[in-house]
Amino acid sequence: MKKTLVLLIICVHSILHAEEAVGKRVYIKGTDITVDSATLKNGLAMQNSLVLNRYIGGTTYLAIPATNRFKGKGIEIGLNSRHSGLLQTDFGISFATLFADSNYLAEYTSSTLRLTSGTTTTAVNLESLVSSEYTSNRLQTANIKLVENIFLFHDSSNNFLQGLALRLGGEIYGNEVKVTSPYYLTSAVSSGAFSLTGSGFSANTIDKIKYNEAYLNAVLGFGYTYKIAEGHNISFGYEYLKSVENGGNYENKTRSLFVLTPTLSLPSENKIKGKVNSELIGNRISIGYVFSVSENVSLGLSYSQTEATHRVVDSKVKEPGNILTILTGSSSGFNPLPFLLGSQPGFGPFPESKDFRKQIGFEVIYKF
């Protein structure tokens, strides 16, 4: 099914471009963008896919993100080519770098460590809540879009129907988030053989998450343009988006200092990483206004809003096996199974988040 949709897009594009273009417009657009990012939310919650792996090793784990919206400027360039009264091709490339205020991640962990000496088994219960603030947050987003517009009623005697078009095409759409937490707050409790309660602040640990995803989306929808007066045109559009191919990579890198003495510290680094497969389903609506300054130059204002669900369907993200799990979950004091399963790719559940983005654009159009 996926290959069929991609092949259909390629074939339609080839057929349409076989005709001689009768009208072209190039444009450059500056954009102001706000994004409530599913890429960020899924990236912060990705370690929840290791919940079952860790549970087998005797650890209960849950990550709960709290995020802010990204904001920033972007640019889009494109070409509209009218091949005939029936057919028009829209091609565009856009890119933006956005930033967000602080994002937060709360991680709850509970585990039991059993130590056996002879016939005596000592159990220690550990419970902690860690709250990290990500103070450096960047989202880069890009899109390459190719859509064919089929004006089914272009030769109609009804002026209101002439501007109605069926849209069919595709887009390559990608996001990458990078977030950094320079410190965390922690509250920990141990009970059983040893009882201890404490909380504190640590600036010895730097946590960095990088997560990227790319989609090949099929696009199906409709567009409508109408001339409200000489030199004044308005447009509306709706598009349904469905991914047909995808790919992504996740990496969580934690660097810390293990303090031995007031003057001696040892650096350490831990990585959790792997490839991720996900799917996207969503829709986009748009509205625009274009004013002709001259025969060849026009100015335009536009607004678009996109809502999509990003759902991780498979993950190869894994962490190094925790040697301490060999000593957990077994009264005999030795159990290698949790260690082996703990270093496997995540068994799930996998994250799923909504992505909301709004874009306001101002464009300059040149006709030739």
Answer yes or no: is pLDDT of 8 > 70. Answer: no
Residue 238: name the closest of 298, 185, 305, 154 by CA.
305
Query: Which ranges constitute the DSSP H helices of the chain?
Result: 2-16, 38-44, 51-56, 159-162, 337-342
Query: 123-155 in b/e burial notation, b at 16+ Cβ within 10 A?
Result: ebebbbebbbebeebbbbbbbebbbbbbbeebe
Query: CB neighbours (10 Å) of residue 221?
Result: 20
Q: What is the mean pLDDT of residues 222-239?
A: 95
Worst-scoring range by mean pLDDT, 28-42, 167-181, 249-263, 284-298? 249-263
- When pLDDT is averaged across residues 221-248 and rounded to a whole number, the result is 96
Residue 11's pLDDT is what? 47
* Nearest in space to 341 (alpha carbons), one of 329, 357, 325, 352: 325
Closest-CA residue to 152 (of 222, 211, 83, 78): 222
Burial of 198 (0-12, 13-18, 19+ CB in 10 A): exposed
Please give the average per-residue pLDDT across 14-36, as a whole number. Answer: 77
- Please compute the mean of the pLDDT values over residues 220-240 and round it to a whole number: 96
**Arithmetic mean of pLDDT, 106-133:** 77
Mean pLDDT of 283-298: 96
pTM of the entire structure?
0.85
Average pLDDT, the chain: 86
Residues 321 and 343: beta-carbon distance below 8 Å: yes
Q: Which of 160-169, 220-229, 241-250, 264-273 has the lowest mean pLDDT?
A: 264-273
Q: Are the C-beta atoms of 112 and 126 separated by less than 8 Å?
A: yes
pLDDT of res. 259: 58
Q: How many CB atoms lie within 10 A of CB 366?
A: 12
Residue 212 CB coordination number (10 Å) = 18
Tokens of residue 263, six digits: 């003057």
Question: What's the mean pLDDT in 198-223?
Answer: 87
Judge whether residue 251 has pLDDT over 90. yes
What is the pLDDT, as a whole number, of residue 7?
A: 44
Looking at residues 53-58, what average pLDDT do you find? 80
Is residue 329 pLDDT above 50, yes or no? no
* 121-125 average pLDDT score: 68
Output the pLDDT for position 302.
Answer: 98
Predicted pLDDT of residue 322: 62
- pLDDT, one tens digit per residue, over 178-192 is 999 998 888 777 665
User: How distant, in Å, are the alpha carbons of 69, 99, 142, 302 from that of 30?
Assistant: 20, 17, 14, 10
Contact 324, 286 (CB under 8 A): no
- Cβ proximity of 248 and 350 under 8 Å: no
| Furthest-apart CA atoms within the chain: distance in Å | 95
User: Is the per-residue pLDDT at 81 higher than 50?
Assistant: yes
Q: Which residue has the higher pLDDT, 328 or 43?
A: 43
Neighbours of 314 (CB within 10 A): 14
Buried b (16+ CB within 10 A) or exposed e, 6-25: eeebeebbeebeeeeeeeeb
Query: Which tops the pLDDT comparison, 162 or 8?
Result: 162
- Cα distance between residue 219 and residue 302, in whole Å: 20
Confidence of residue 18 (pLDDT cuts 50, 70, 90): very low
pLDDT at 67: 96
Task: State the pLDDT confidence band at 205, using cuts at 50, 70 and 90.
Answer: confident
Amino acid making up residue 290 = V
Q: Are 251 and 270 in contact (CB under 8 A)?
A: no
